[in-house]
Amino acid sequence: MGSAPYRSLLPLLLSPLSLLPVVCGDCGPLPSLSRAEPPEDIRHKNSFPVGSKVTYRCLQNLSKIPSRLDTIMCLNNSLWSNLQEFCDHSCQSPPQVAFAKLSKEDEMKNFYAVGITVSYDCSPGYENSTAELPTSTCRENSTWSEVPELCHKQSCGPPTNPEHGTVVATDHLYLARAKVVCNEGYTLSSRVSFILCFTQGNGVAWTPLPTCQVSPSVTGTTAVANSTPHLEKKASENHYILPLVLIPCITGAAVIVAWSIKKCSASKKTG
């Protein structure tokens, strides 16, 4: 019961103490900035001694300009230091596109303010058909404008056919793949049955052309040539190509033998 009067007395006793720092060098409440706010926990504090430092944070949708200060200090004249506007509307990293890459100069930037325009160079394998190069601008709503597709795939030109074969190409542009098909009786010298239009130096060129070589067995020519493209991949990974080729051969031979026996007996009958 007797503690109640003391409790109400306590704030009265403490209030002069809380006013004390103001007397001997204090900057008072934090200044309010239009685009930034101080940390939540000290936002409503009324007293900051000389030497106090407070770091502000940009308001929602605004970002800190890297070169600017974001910390104020209570100076020895009991005034807060001044702060230049350090928050601005900005965009995230510029958009990435396959046909072009951000210029070195713009790539090094770490802040893209609203209104800034970045430029691109054509990616390897692409070229500009006009003097105009792609650009993008950081718009008012913090989004980048679309990067116009001003770089086009370079062409490798029509591929040359290998000796005893043909290249089946529908597209001659960068990253196009063309199938190499050998004439009957010939097989590819390598497992790679495609050529690719790829970067070479400053331009593009077809990857080395595989050659077509005479098939190892002349007798089974047609059968081997037809089955090769399908079995080729499996053959490189597995070792069951031999049974796969032999079984149809043996079966074929058996059929031929059976057929000739039948024919022989038939001709015997007629003869």
| Binding to ligand NAG in span 36-65, by CB under 6 A | 60-61
Print the binding letters for residues 69-98 with ligand NAG: x by CB under 6 A, - otherwise: -------x----------------------
- CB atoms under 10 Å from CB of 250, counted, come to 11
Structure tokens at 264: 């022989």
The HSE-up count of residue 251 (CA atoms within 13 Å, CB side) is 7
Q: Rounded to whole angstroms, how far apart are CA atoms 202 and 59?
A: 47
Phi and psi torsions of 213, nearest 5°: -115, 155
When binding is defined by CB under 6 A, the residue of 119, 128, 161, 183 that contacts ligand NAG is 128
Q: Rounded to the nearest whole angstrom, what is the least distance from the CB of residue 131 to ligand NAG in the complex?
A: 4
- How would DSSP label each residue in 23-60? HTSB--SPPP-SSEE--GGGTT----BTT-EEE-EEPT
- Residue type present at position 170: T
Q: Does 133 bind ligand NAG (CB under 6 A)?
A: yes
Q: Rounded to whole angstroms, how far apart are CA atoms 137 and 131?
A: 19
When binding is defined by CB under 6 A, the residue of 15, 141, 219, 265 that contacts ligand NAG is 141
When binding is defined by CB under 6 A, the residue of 45, 53, 68, 139 that contacts ligand NAG is 139
Residue 39 · residue 57 · CB < 8 Å = yes
- Residue type present at position 131: A
When binding is defined by CB under 6 A, the residue of 67, 130, 170, 202 that contacts ligand NAG is 130
Q: Does 131 bind ligand NAG (CB under 6 A)?
A: yes
Residue 22 · residue 16 · CB < 8 Å = no
User: In this chain, which stretch among 122-130, 225-233, 237-245, 263-271 interacts with ligand NAG, using CB under 6 A?
Assistant: 122-130
How many residues bind to ligand NAG according to rule CB under 6 A?
Answer: 11
**Considering beta carbons, is residue 82 or 129 the nearer one to ligand NAG?**
129
User: In this chain, which stretch among 28-36, 131-139, 173-181, 199-207 interacts with ligand NAG, using CB under 6 A?
Assistant: 131-139
Applying CB under 6 A, which residues contact ligand NAG?
A: 60-61, 76, 128-131, 133, 139, 141, 143
